[in-house]
Amino acid sequence: MVKFQMRRSGYMTVGQVITALVSDMKDNGFRVVWPAMWTPPVGEAMDKFTVLLEAGGDVDPLNKDEVENKQPWRLRIEVFDKYTCGITAGSNLSLPDTGANSWYVVDKQIKGPLGSFGGEYTKVATGNVLTPDTAKRSEAFINRKDHVLVGTVDMSSSYPMSYYVVITDRGIFFTVWEDAASVDDHEFSWFLVQRPVQRKTGAVVTEGKAPVFAVVSTQNKINRFIVRESDVMRPSITVDATTDTDGYNAVINAEEQVAISEGNKYVVSFPSRLNTPRYAYTYELDMIGYTGADVISENTDVPLKVYGETEDRTYVSIHSNGPRNTKMRLLALKSEPVPVEPAE
């Protein structure tokens, strides 16, 4: 069930976007774990802060108060400056109550945080802890510095940002973009973290390994990883979500695609072919869909009946990932029918 959805506009700095997002999350099912006494930053403090949030029982069915063996997942958001932020996802073990990241290590070298929504970090800070190189767009979830900062002139007012967020009883989707930016600029990012649903019924998966999946797009590249499973509390490696690789299936088609059925109706697909390094699953991620970008224009409400529901869900169309509205267009959940409780 959709708990909250909102589209907001008019942000000049990354800190402004993240402060608003955290308030939306905190008011709609997430709790702030760190810092313990969270207050929204103001002034210069808005340009550098960290916050760790956990999906509560209204967002994650396996973190409800009555669940005996809870399986929580968390999001850590760090604003590095006016132009850059990083986000990581993980369990309460990989993202502890101290607000620290856990690190991905190869050959005794730290490569970056586990469960990162950006690429590997390369800038060494004090204590051998890495931070993103803000000159490299691939190293953060949002990184605007190379085009917003022109010499010593801050051009943020020329590139205002908007975002859309939807929070449900199974996860969160968030996308942020620069208004009127072309896809060639790649000035949009998005992430989805959710427990999947059964393909026949749409029921949220809470039995078995109950994996939590993340699908993330930065710089127009779509990746995926497993945030946690019931018995694995370390995020998996990040892989391309659009290509079959060793041990991992592609879950989304990011290319030009035929999206008109024989009956002259457009076709919307959901990320599927989900798997972990151990198991293949017949589940889907239903909080986002995708179709041909030339079938539906941006910011259009799309009614869909799925999973045997008698009433329409509504998805809203957002970015295409090709120039001039080509290739794939993403759709994000906006509303869905309230489940009917079975009669006793």
119-154 per-residue burial string, b: 16 or more CB within 10 A, e: under 16: bbbeeeeeeeebbbbbebbebbbbbbbebbbeeeee
Phi, psi of 126 (to 5 degrees): -65, 145
Radius of gyration of the chain (CA): 19
In a domain, 109, yes or no: yes
Q: State residue 180's pLDDT score.
A: 67
- DSSP tag of 275: B
Q: What is the pLDDT of residues 266-314, one digit of tens each?
A: 889 999 999 999 999 999 999 999 999 888 889 999 999 999 999 999 9
Q: State residue 183's pLDDT score.
A: 44
In a domain, 279, yes or no: no
Q: State residue 191's pLDDT score.
A: 98
Q: Which domain holds residue 168?
A: 2-243
**Rounded to whole angstroms, how far apart are CA atoms 109 and 271?**
33
- Sorted by sequence, the CB contacts under 8 Å of residue 30 that are 6+ apart come out as 53, 54, 55, 56, 59, 75, 167, 172
Q: State residue 151's pLDDT score.
A: 84
**Rounded to whole angstroms, how far apart are CA atoms 272 and 253?**
10
In a domain, 337, yes or no: no
How many domains, the chain?
Answer: 1
Q: What is the pLDDT of residues 49-98, one digit of tens each?
A: 999 999 999 999 999 999 999 999 999 999 999 999 999 999 999 999 99
CB 194 within 8 A of CB 289: no
Q: What is the pLDDT along the chain (344 residues), one digit of tens a residue?
A: 999 999 999 999 999 999 999 999 999 999 999 999 999 999 999 999 999 999 999 999 999 999 999 999 999 999 999 999 999 999 999 999 999 988 888 887 777 889 999 867 777 766 666 777 766 767 789 988 888 888 889 988 888 999 999 999 999 999 999 986 544 455 789 999 999 999 999 999 999 999 999 999 998 899 999 999 999 999 999 999 999 998 899 999 999 888 777 777 888 999 999 999 999 999 999 999 999 988 888 999 999 999 999 999 999 999 888 887 889 999 999 999 987 554 44
In a domain, 303, yes or no: no
> What spatial distance separates the first Cα and last Cα of the chain, rounded to whole Å?
22
In a domain, 266, yes or no: no
- Sorted by sequence, the CB contacts under 8 Å of residue 248 that are 6+ apart come out as 224, 239, 275, 277
In a domain, 292, yes or no: no
314-318's contacts with Cβ under 8 Å and 24+ in sequence apart are 315/268, 315/289, 316/164, 318/164, 318/175, 318/177, 318/190
In a domain, 253, yes or no: no
In a domain, 335, yes or no: no
